[in-house]
Amino acid sequence: MRKTAPPRGLPFMKMHGLGNDFVVLDHRAGGPPVTTALATMLADRHRGVGFDQLAVILPAEGADAHLTFYNADGSLSAACGNATRCIARYLMEESSQSALTLQTDRGTLPCVDAGAGQTSVNMGAPLTAWQDIPLAHEVDTLALPLDGAPTATSMGNPHCTFFVPDAEAVDLATLGPAFEHDPLFPERTNVQFAHLIGPDHLRMRVWERGTGITLASGSSSCATAVAAARRGLTSRTVTIALDGGTIHIDWREDGVWMTGPTAHVFNGQLIP
């Protein structure tokens, strides 16, 4: 019996959540191993496809799929909230389901259709103990011993949130990488700058670990909402205005729920 020839190229999907863009590989039926070299080649916006993160969909036991995430520099990330929402929407439309669960290195995340084109994901409980973030040594995570006294949070990946008078005035391209690589963060960190623009309404900009400035970040939005609530700046339900649009965060007893729009931009095939 003649075997079907494998595809000549690598099929992929391009998606984004509020401009936070992803290349998605659906490997539930198999696919080539994803290496650092492949991830960085795909990330190149001039010679590849371009992305903030790469997400690989794999089969899973006890969930609808397993997701693995890579940053633009090829490093692994345990969590990527906007990519999780994008893939949840894709799988819900594929299966005609309104709810499903996705396994990540962060844990198993419930996802639901929130209506009006919005998708919600429970990113799990935040971690605020210094050793869980992790930090290099014991400190007060509510006010780190760094200039600006930022707050540290883990949403499966480390975050460092500064509350400033004007997030738009911050030199993110300079301060982002400086704090990402601060010795206090042995696994590096995502960096956010936020200010309050109204009751339970934040303006936030983000530097993502291993990627750089992005238009939005789901896990960073969750971390910023948790940090703001811990510092008494907001309630546990907030709206966050990002460079790429608006996202809603609700820190409930069962975890931090994130709700926003997604977009499946196009399908393509990488030709060798």
Across all residues in the chain, what is the average pLDDT? 95
Q: What is the pLDDT of residue 9?
A: 85
Closest of 184, 137, 138, 140 to residue 158, by C-alpha: 184
Residue 151 identity (one-letter amino acid): T
Q: For residues 121 and 16, what is the distance between their CA atoms, to the nearest angstrom?
A: 15
Query: Would you say 166 and 195 are in contact if contact means Cβ atoms under 8 Å apart?
Result: yes
Give this prediction's pTM. Answer: 0.94
Q: Rounded mean pLDDT of 37-49? A: 94
Cis amide leading into 134 (omega within 30): yes
The radius of gyration of the chain's CA atoms, rounded to the nearest angstrom, is 18
Residue 71 has pLDDT above 60, yes or no: yes
- Encode pLDDT of 147-184 as tens digits: 999 999 999 999 999 999 999 999 999 999 999 999 99
Indicate the pairing of strand 245-252 with strand 201-208.
Answer: unpaired
Domain spans in the chain, listed from the N-terminal domain onward = 10-122+260-266, 130-258
Is the alpha carbon torsion for 108, 221, 118, 54 positive or negative?
Answer: negative
**Residue 2 pLDDT more than 80?**
no
Band (4; pLDDT cuts 50, 70, 90): very low
The percentage of the chain sitting over the pLDDT mark of 90, rounded to a whole number, equals: 94
Q: Is the pLDDT of residue 1 over 70?
A: no
Q: Which CATH number fits domain 10-122+260-266: 3.40.50.10490, 1.10.260.40, 1.10.1380.10, 3.10.310.10?
A: 3.10.310.10
Q: What pLDDT score was predicted for residue 271?
A: 79
The yes-or-no answer to whether 10-122+260-266 and 130-258 have a common fold is yes
Mean pLDDT of 97-120: 96
Topology (CATH level 3) of domain 130-258:
Diaminopimelate Epimerase; Chain A, domain 1 (3.10.310)
DSSP state letter for 113: E
